[in-house]
């Protein structure tokens, strides 16, 4: 595959590229890697129950998948990273790996909300026809709370999803019923068991979404790159819905020191 | 393609709250060392918030890496012998960022990946030379190393590279942690170490005595009893009022003396008994001038050198990981693609 290559200049620009893309999403307990051809069609995909072992398993799984698909590292033309929200450990592993790939190979990176990929995948696999559609994606936020994202597609054939909340995903505290918040939408429950307000259908939709999310992320990433949009690999971070516990405002800056002297 | 024996190690360290990348040559000469410190962000909360630290690592890892790469003038990976990364001990969420970033870069550029124990890094900081430093001999073996910081306090004997005989460690708080807690009780800013040292220097009377936890014949340390004694003394002195600056200075002096006395005495004793040819001091608390002076006295009495890296190399940095990583790389230590964070990784398995 690739020999020693020059280190990339930071912040490569996006642009139409015909090279294969790799998509990584680790926001849920099922990790997902997908490799798509130059047009965005999936060549190889793997989803597996990573639990909390993303750190051990992700890069080895990527290596296997590249080998199986016959795609060399040097062939890759971009990285699509699921940005959550979701499990912090998984997202840290996924984003650190995605950044390492994009920075190391000098290729563009596109962050796509994991919930958007899940929403899109739930429909692709769920066969809702061409009608307008409201979706509510629900997934765990820590041991007790849940993240809720809502997406709307007004034209059944459109591939783009509108954020129906207008401000991205939000946190639903553990004790709070979800029914009023998801009224009128098709519920997609990720990593959540059947419970009051969560039907077996919602759980099944969640399973379909997890299985198909790699293709959906590749699709979204390809569309972004075709529009000339990529994220800055230096600044891309997961979608955090809440501030860390004990922090009330994102105050303070990071002090830089360049050493030696 | 064989591994090039260029001696150049690219090192990544994210075990706590500093995002650090360095390039080090032959385990000694610093080519570049960049640290993004989160100190200012944590100052308002009086300590490290793990979730804040982990988020900041992910935000700063690429710019810090790029800065170090550019400063070292590395533009071709074929000159890099190995990528070294701290895999523990430390905060799980923080370690993960550096490990997975370094692992992916090593994978992409087909370079060996070398795991480094953070504690070992603190010891190997003693090997480092700044770009403009004259050559000087490497620390001689056998040696005794005392590592003291906000997270660790331990004493170890080294008879050769990467060979550690653990002598003792704190059974409760790390020394730096005790400085932080007592600093807070005294109404001093975080971090407590430098604030207490500064306050203590202003003391005019030196008659407040705090207890020393000698822990019998062992080389172990304990600072929780001292912390309790300090709290009682502070409350007694205060009597419901705010402490006056002179009391703060005297209490700070008494507390610092107690910590430094135990650390220096045990280190000197260990060096004497093991026939050490040098004493190495590392970790953030090694920046404390009183501790340095007191351990230096012990070393001088034994006729051996005390080696203390400059303060910026005593606190967490990646150059120390690059130094240890070089000797690990040459000893054949390798990690595979499944390298994961080991938050409680011991120095000696
Ligand atoms: Zn440290």
CB distance from B264 to chain A under 8 Å? no
**What is the per-residue pLDDT across B230-249, written as a single tens digit (0 to 9) for each?**
999 999 988 778 889 999 99
CB distance from A244 to chain B under 8 Å? yes
CB distance from B312 to chain A under 8 Å? yes
Counting one residue from A and one from B, how many pairs have CB atoms under 8 Å apart?
Answer: 169
B89 Cα–ligand 1 center, Å: 9
Q: Which stretch of A70-84, A242-256, B80-94, B332-346 has the lowest confidence by average pLDDT?
A: A242-256
**What is the per-residue pLDDT across B33-73, written as a single tens digit (0 to 9) for each?**
999 987 555 555 667 788 888 999 999 999 999 999 999 99
The confidence score (pLDDT) of residue A160 equals: 76
Are A152 and A132 spatial neighbours (Cβ–Cβ below 8 Å)?
Answer: yes
- Interior/surface letters B126-145, b for 16+ CB within 10 angstroms, e for the rest: bbbbbeeeeeeeebeebbbb
Concatenated DSSP letters of A6-69: BPPPSSPPP----S-EEEEE-SSSEEEEEEE-TTS-EEEEEEEE-TT-HHHHHHHHHHHHHHHH
The confidence score (pLDDT) of residue B201 equals: 96
| Chain B residues near residue A258 by CB distance under 8 angstroms | 34-35, 67, 71
Report the chain A residue with the minimal C-alpha distance to residue B81.
Answer: A4
**What is the per-residue pLDDT across B130-186, written as a single tens digit (0 to 9) for each?**
999 999 999 999 999 999 998 899 999 999 999 999 999 999 999 999 999 999 999
| Chain B residues near residue A257 by CB distance under 8 angstroms | 34-37, 312
Query: Phi/psi zone of residue A191: left (φ > 0), alpha (ψ -120 to 50 degrees), beta?
Result: left
B:10-39 residues touching chain A, CB 8 A cutoff: 30, 33-39
A:60-79 residues touching chain B, CB 8 A cutoff: 60, 63, 73
CB contact under 8 A, B51 and A55: no
Q: How far apart are CA A135 and CA A152, in angstroms?
A: 6
Report the chain B residue with the minimal C-alpha distance to residue A106.
Answer: B108
Q: Assign domain A21-113+212-226 one CATH number from 3.40.50.1820, 3.30.420.40, 3.40.190.10, 3.30.450.20.
A: 3.30.420.40
Domain ranges of chain A: 21-113+212-226, 115-209
B:194-223 residues touching chain A, CB 8 A cutoff: none
Q: Which residue has the tokens 């001093």?
A: B188
CB contact under 8 A, A247 and B69: no
**What is the per-residue pLDDT across B300-331, written as a single tens digit (0 to 9) for each?**
999 999 999 999 999 999 999 999 999 999 99
| Chain B residues near residue A254 by CB distance under 8 angstroms | 36-38, 40-41, 56, 59-60
Query: Phi/psi zone of residue B193: left (φ > 0), alpha (ψ -120 to 50 degrees), beta?
Result: alpha
CB distance from A101 to chain B under 8 Å? yes
Query: Is the pLDDT assigned to residue B191 strictly greater than 70?
Result: yes
The confidence score (pLDDT) of residue B270 equals: 97
Most A CBs within 10 Å, among B96, B98, B314, to test the A interface: B96
Q: Is the pTM of this model over 0.90?
A: yes
CB distance from B78 to chain A under 8 Å? yes
Bridge partners for B18 per DSSP: B37
The confidence score (pLDDT) of residue B48 equals: 79
Q: Which among A2, A100, A238 has CB closest to B101?
A: A100
The confidence score (pLDDT) of residue A1 equals: 34
Q: Which residues of chain A have pLDDT under 50?
A: 1-17, 260-261
CB-based neighbours (< 5 A) of ligand 1, an ion: B 149, 316
Distances (CA, A) of A213 to A32, A35, A119: 8, 12, 8
CB contact under 8 A, A237 and B58: yes
Q: How would you class B336 by CB atoms within 10 Å of its CB: exposed for 0-12, middle for 13-18, buried for 19 or more?
A: exposed
B261 Cα–ligand 1 center, Å: 22
- Interior/surface letters A154-183, b for 16+ CB within 10 angstroms, e for the rest: eeeeeeebeebeeeebbebeeeeebeebbe
Q: Which stretch of B22-26, B113-117, B285-289 has the lowest confidence by average pLDDT?
A: B285-289
Nearest to A74, CA basis, from A110, A111, A22, A109: A22
């Amino acid at each position: 595959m690739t020999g020693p290559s020059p280190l990339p200049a930071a912040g490569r620009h996006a642009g139409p590229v015909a090279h294969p893309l790799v998509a990584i999403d680790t926001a849920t307990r099922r990790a997902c890697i997908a490799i798509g051809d130059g047009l965005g069609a999936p060549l190889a995909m793997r989803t597996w129950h990573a639990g909390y072992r993303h750190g051990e398993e992700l890069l080895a799984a990527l290596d296997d998948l590249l080998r199986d698909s016959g795609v060399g590292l040097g062939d890759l033309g971009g990285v699509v990273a699921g940005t959550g929200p979701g499990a912090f450990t998984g997202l840290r592993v996924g984003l650190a790996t995605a950044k390492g790939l994009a920075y190391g190979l000098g290729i563009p990176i596109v962050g796509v909300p994991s919930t958007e990929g899940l929403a899109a995948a739930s429909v692709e696999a769920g066969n809702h026809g061409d009608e307008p559609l409201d979706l509510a994606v629900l997934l765990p936020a820590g041991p007790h709370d849940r993240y809720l994202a809502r997406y709307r597609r007004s034209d059944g054939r459109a591939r783009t999803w509108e954020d129906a909340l207008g401000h991205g995903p939000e946190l639903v505290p553990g004790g709070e019923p979800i029914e009023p918040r998801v009224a009128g939408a098709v519920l997609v429950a990720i990593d959540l068991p059947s419970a009051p307000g969560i039907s077996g259908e919602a759980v099944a939709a969640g399973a379909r979404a997890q299985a198909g999310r790699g293709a959906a992320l590749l699709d979204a990433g390809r569309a972004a790159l075709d529009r000339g949009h990529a994220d800055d690999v230096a600044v891309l971070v997961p979608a955090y819905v809440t501030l860390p516990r004990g922090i009330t405002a994102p105050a303070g800056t990071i002090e830089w020191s360049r050493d030696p002297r | 393609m064989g591994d090039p024996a260029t001696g150049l190690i690219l090192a990544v360290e994210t075990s706590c709250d500093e995002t650090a990348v360095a390039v080090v040559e032959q385990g000694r000469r610093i080519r570049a060392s960049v640290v993004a410190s989160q100190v200012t962000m944590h100052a308002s909360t009086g300590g490290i918030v793990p979730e804040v630290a982990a988020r900041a690592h992910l935000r700063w890892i690429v710019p810090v890496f790029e800065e170090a790469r550019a400063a070292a003038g590395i533009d071709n990976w074929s000159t890099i012998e190995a990528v070294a990364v701290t895999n523990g001990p430390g905060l799980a969420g923080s370690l993960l960022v550096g490990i997975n970033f370094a692992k992916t870069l090593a994978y992409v550029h087909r370079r060996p990946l070398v795991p480094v124990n953070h504690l070992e890094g603190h010891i190997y900081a003693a090997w480092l030379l700044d770009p403009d430093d004259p050559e000087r001999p490497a620390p001689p073996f056998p040696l005794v190393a005392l590592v003291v910081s906000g997270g660790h306090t331990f004493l170890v004997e080294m008879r050769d590279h990467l060979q550690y005989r653990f002598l003792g460690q704190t059974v409760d708080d790390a020394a730096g942690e005790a400085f932080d807690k007592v600093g807070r009780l005294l109404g001093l800013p975080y971090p407590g170490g430098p604030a207490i040292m500064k306050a203590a220097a202003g003391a005019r009377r030196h008659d407040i005595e705090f207890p020393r936890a000698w822990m019998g014949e062992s080389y172990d340390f304990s600072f929780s009893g001292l912390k309790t004694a300090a709290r009682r003394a502070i409350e007694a002195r205060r009597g419901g009022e705010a402490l006056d600056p002179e009391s703060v200075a005297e209490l700070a002096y008494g507390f610092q003396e107690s910590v430094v006395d135990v650390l220096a005495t045990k280190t000197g004793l260990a060096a004497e008994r093991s026939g050490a040819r040098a004493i190495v001091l590392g970790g953030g608390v090694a920046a404390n001038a009183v501790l340095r002076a007191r351990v230096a006295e012990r070393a001088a009495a034994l006729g051996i050198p005390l080696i203390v890296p400059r303060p910026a190399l005593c606190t967490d940095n990646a150059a120390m990981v690059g130094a240890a990583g070089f000797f690990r790389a040459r000893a054949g230590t390798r990690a595979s693609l499944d390298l994961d964070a080991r938050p409680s990784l011991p120095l000696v398995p």
